Amino acid sequence: MESESQKYWSPYAAGVALGLILLLTFVLMGRGLGASGAMMRTVTWAVDTVSPAHVDSNPYFSKYAGGDKNPLSNWLVFEVIGVFFGGLLSGMLAKRMRLQVEHGPRITDKGRLVLALTGGAIMGFGARLALGCTSGQALTGGATMAVGSWIFMLTMFAAAFGVAWLFRKQWI
């Protein structure tokens, strides 16, 4: 008999916990949480490994690397490694570890994977344009009342609600 996985936390309890972690980060570091910045550094590191000359000649990659700068020697990179293992730990303790493709009943596994890849690419691109993602802009920027972060948050939710109907078959 398969053991049953634990329930999720109440959203308000999870929100309080997340808020306290963010506050702790402010108090310790004077900065907030993030995710996409570390992914960008990973990309830059890969490009730098293949072709250092290309990094030096590109105005975007050279912000993170080039010369003797190591793009991975960064606070966010270590934080994101922690995020992965934190998720793993929670999933193991809650018995939620399972290889699977998650989607609604009206789309195939393959269709879902194509959309996941596409959506990821769109968001990766958008996160760089917006100078951050849900963690760095919406959450951190939201709590610090940064004007641009609130604008980002509002347009992100507006667009998501706006296009949701077009992709309903993937989810509901």
Q: Which residues ranging from 73 to 132 are in contact with another protein (CB under 8 A)? A: 75-91, 94, 96-104, 112-113, 115-132
Asked whether 22 and 33 are in contact (CB, 8 A), the reply is: yes
CB of 119 to another protein, least distance (A): 2
Question: Residue 95 to residues 11, 91, 100: CA-CA distances in angstroms?
Answer: 20, 6, 14
Backbone angles phi, psi at 7, to 5 degrees: -75, 160
| CB of 81 vs another protein, minimal distance in Å | 6
Tokens 């570091």: give the residue: 29
# binding residues, another protein (CB under 8 A): 121
- Residues 11-70 contacting another protein, CB under 8 A: 11-12, 14-33, 35-36, 39-40, 42-44, 47, 58-61
Pair of tokens at residue 140: 């951190």
Residue 170: Cβ within 10 Å count: 16
Q: Which is nearer to another protein, 44 or 67 (CB)?
A: 44
The smaller minimum CB distance to another protein, of residues 49 and 104, is found at 104
CB of 162 to another protein, least distance (A): 7
Tell me: does residue 171 bind another protein (CB under 8 A). yes
**Which CA distances in Å does 102 have to 6, 57, 109, 150?**
18, 41, 8, 30
Q: Indicate the length of the chain as a whole number.
A: 172
Choose between 69 and 83: whose C-beta lies nearer to another protein. Answer: 83
> CB 102 → another protein: shortest distance, Å?
5
Nearest to 42 by CA among 80, 93, 83, 1: 80
Minimum CB separation of residue 7 from another protein in Å reads: 9
Q: Is 72 in the site for another protein (CB under 8 A)?
A: no
